[in-house]
Amino acid sequence: MNSTPLITRRHALQSAACGFGALALNGIATAASLPRGLHHTPRAKRVIFLFMQGGPSQVDTFDYKPKLQALDGKKLPFAPAKNLDPSSASQAKLLGSPWKFQQHGEAGLWGSELFPEVSKRLDDLCVIRSMQSKGQSHGQAVCMIHTGADNFVRPSIGSWISYGLGSENADLPAFVSISPPATHGGPRNYGSAFLPAEHQGTTVGRSGKLGKDATFRFLNAGADAADQSRKLDLLQAMNREHLERTRHAPVEGMIQSMELAFRMQREAPLVMDIENEPAHIKALYGIGDAVTDNYGRQCLLARRFAEAGVRYIQVSTPNVWDQHSELVKGHTKNAAAVDRPIAGLLADLKQRGLLEDTLVVWGGEFGRTPIVQGANGRDHNPQGFTMWMAGGGVKSGVAYGETDDFGYYAVKDKVHMHDLHATILHLLGIDHLKLTYRYAGRDFRLTDVYGEVVHGIFA
- Among 269, 281, 129, smallest CA distance to 213 is for 269
The residue (of 23 and 291) whose beta carbon lies closer to another protein is 23
Give the count of alpha carbons within 13 A of 116, CB side only. 6
Q: Is 219 in the site for another protein (CB under 8 A)?
A: yes
Nearer to another protein, 113 or 450 (CB): 450
295-354: contacts with another protein (CB under 8 A): 325
Q: Binder to another protein among 107, 225, 260, 328 (CB under 8 A)?
A: 260
Residue 25 binding another protein, by CB under 8 A: no
How many Cα atoms sit within 13 Å of 214 on the Cβ side?
A: 21
Least distance to another protein from the beta carbon of 190, Å?
Answer: 10
- Rounded Cα gap, residues 456 and 459, in angstroms: 8
**In the complex, what is the shortest distance from the CB of residue 285 to another protein, in angstroms, rounded to a whole number?**
28
**Is there binding between residue 193 and another protein (CB under 8 A)?**
yes
Q: Which residues ranging from 61 to 120 are in contact with another protein (CB under 8 A)?
A: 81-83, 85-87, 90
Q: Which long-range contacts (CB under 8 A, 24 or more apart) does 4-13 make?
A: 5/229, 5/230, 5/232, 5/233, 6/229, 6/259, 6/262, 6/263, 8/233, 9/232, 9/233, 9/236, 9/259, 10/259, 12/236, 12/237, 12/240, 13/236, 13/240, 13/255, 13/259
Binding to another protein by residue 2, rule CB under 8 A? no
- Alpha-carbon gap, residue 283 to 348, rounded angstroms: 11
> Closest approach of Cβ 122 to another protein, in Å?
24
Nearer to another protein, 247 or 333 (CB): 247
Minimum gap (Å) between residue 422 Cβ and another protein: 13
DSSP summary character for residue 168 = S
Residues 382-411 that bind another protein (CB under 8 A): 383, 409, 411
User: Does residue 215 interact with another protein by CB under 8 A?
Assistant: no
The residues, ordered by sequence, that sit 6+ positions from 397 with a Cβ below 8 Å of its Cβ are 105, 106, 107, 109, 122, 123, 124, 125, 126
- Does residue 198 interact with another protein by CB under 8 A? yes
Site for another protein in 135-154 (CB under 8 A): 136-140, 142-143, 150-151, 153
Length of the chain: 459
Cα–Cα distance measured from residue 10 to residue 23, given in angstroms and rounded to the nearest whole number: 15
Question: Quick one: which of 161, 178, 204, 255 contacts another protein (CB under 8 A)?
Answer: 255
Tell me if 251 contacts another protein by CB under 8 A: yes
Q: Which stretch in 9-17, 44-52, 60-68, 219-227 sits in contact with another protein by CB under 8 A?
A: 219-227
